[in-house]
Amino acid sequence: MGRPPCCDKVGIKKGPWTPEEDIILVSYIQQNGPGNWRSVPTNTGLMRCSKSCRLRWTNYLRPGIKRGNFTQHEEGMIIHLQAMLGNRWAAIASYLPQRTDNDIKNYWNTHLKKKMKKLHTTIDQPSYESMKPDMNVGSSTYASSTENISRLLEGWMRSSPKPILKTSQEKHTQLNIPSTTTTTNNLFDVSSGGGVISNEEIESLLSYDNMSGIAWEKSSTDSTVFHGCQSMVEEVKPRVEDHHHHRPLSLLEKWLLDESAGHGEEMMELDTDCFSNPLF
DNA sequence: AAAGGCCCCAACCGCGGGTAG
DNA sequence: CCTACCCGCGGTTGGGGCCTT
């Protein structure tokens, strides 16, 4: 209330970040580490407010950020988590350590919301649970901080007047980063069917729906508790209550267990992260 | 080719929680 | 306890690229 916006000072720059600014920010953070954002603009000379610096770092420059298309598995994760947690993007992002909350939020708002809507109209039943994650997840595209910086430098050297790269597809191509995210077996591959979900896709959804339905019933009566996720489940209760999609709280537990049982590296990563996550 | 509409996503805004003084 | 400040989060916006006509 009455608090002035942090970025409305005279001389504070707004709008897209330039590669030069990115490099300044990255090199500063490499030397000093992230945090103490208040001092970043003054120490770097960046004409940006601290908030803008933090956002730029966490959403774009931070090492380990995976950019580009979401895998089917990630998509499934997001849908499940969103159904359980609601629009708590930061919490959801904590289960997808390579994705930022902003990314997930954007992806949900631009893709998944529509898909879910479409799915609801296509299949005459609620089906958040029907989203099947990709069972063939390969090694993930993982940008290290050096990669991020080299990407910046590369873009800078080329003095491209436009943002470094256009699409995630192009990003992968131009940077020779193997794109594991351009899967052809996307459940809702819009390009393949003009946005219409095929029978095959629906079948695959339904089959998973059945699976998860069984899993739910089972897990709802199962006294075995997945302790790793229990505290998270408790933690999300208040928010879940005021959400429309009331789900048995063991959904994620069961799902994660199922997933981790059948998954490779990525899931292992997730599990590791799951247990090391402050939420747990 | 051009104009208009649509879509995506980076970035901004405003609010709330935490905490130091 | 109160206030001011810092930080993080979720909602929203708008610029630019893409698509359609």
Question: What are A191-237's pLDDT values in tens digits?
Answer: 333 333 344 443 343 333 333 333 333 333 333 333 333 334 444 43
Q: How far apart are CA A181 and CA A75, in angstroms?
A: 11
Q: Is the CB of A55 under 7 A from strand B?
A: yes
- The distance (Å) linking the CA of A100 with the C1' of B19 is 26
Distance CA(A183)–CA(A175), nearest Å, equals 18
Mean pLDDT, residues A15-19? 86
Nucleotide nearest to A51 (CA to C1'): C7
Identity (one letter) of the amino acid at A83? A
Distance CA A259, CA A52 (A): 37
CA distance A129 to A123: 13
pLDDT digits (tens, 9 = 90+) for A122-154: 765 544 444 444 433 333 333 344 455 555 555
Protein-covered nucleotides on strand B (Cβ within 7 A): 7-16
Which candidate, A26, A278, A257, places its Cα nearest to that of A144? A26
* pLDDT in the model for residue A87: 85
A97 closest CA partner among A64, A146, A59: A64
Residue A220 contacts by C-beta under 8 Å, 6 or more apart in sequence? A248, A250
The distance (Å) linking the CA of A29 with the C1' of C19 is 40
Res A244: pLDDT: 37
Q: What is the pTM of this model?
A: 0.61
**From CA A81, how far away is CA A128, in angstroms rounded?**
10
pLDDT, average across residues A25-47: 85
d(CA A236, CA A233): 5
Query: pLDDT-derived band of residue A47, with 50, 70 and 90 as boundaries?
Result: confident
Q: Please state, in angstroms and rounded to a whole number, the distance separating the CA atoms of residues A42 and A50.
A: 9
CATH node for A12-62+142-179:
1.10.10.60
Query: Which tokens go with A181?
Result: 């995210």
Distance in angstroms, CA of A194 to C1' of B19? 52
Sign of CA dihedral A60, A63, A69, A71: negative
In the three-class reduction of DSSP (H, G, I as helix; E, B as strand; rest coil), residue A149 is classed as helix
Q: What is the pLDDT of residue A149?
A: 52
Separation of A37 CA and B4 C1' (Å):
42
Max CA pair span of chain A:
61
The alpha-helical segments, DSSP class H, found in chain A are 19-32, 39-44, 50-56, 72-85, 89-93, 101-107, 113-122, 145-157, 168-175, 190-193, 199-221, 227-241, 250-262, 265-276
Among A43, A112, A51, residue whose Cα is nearest residue A78: A112
Q: Cα(first)–Cα(last) distance of chain A, in Å?
A: 34
Nucleotides of C under 7 A from a protein CB: 5-12, 15-18
CA distances from A59 to A70, A115, A191 (A): 16, 24, 27
As a rounded value in angstroms, the CA-to-C1' distance for A4 and B16 is: 15
Residue A109: what pLDDT?
86
Residue ranges, CATH 1.10.10.60, chain A = 12-62+142-179
The mean pLDDT value for A4-25 works out to 75
Tokens of A25: 């920010």
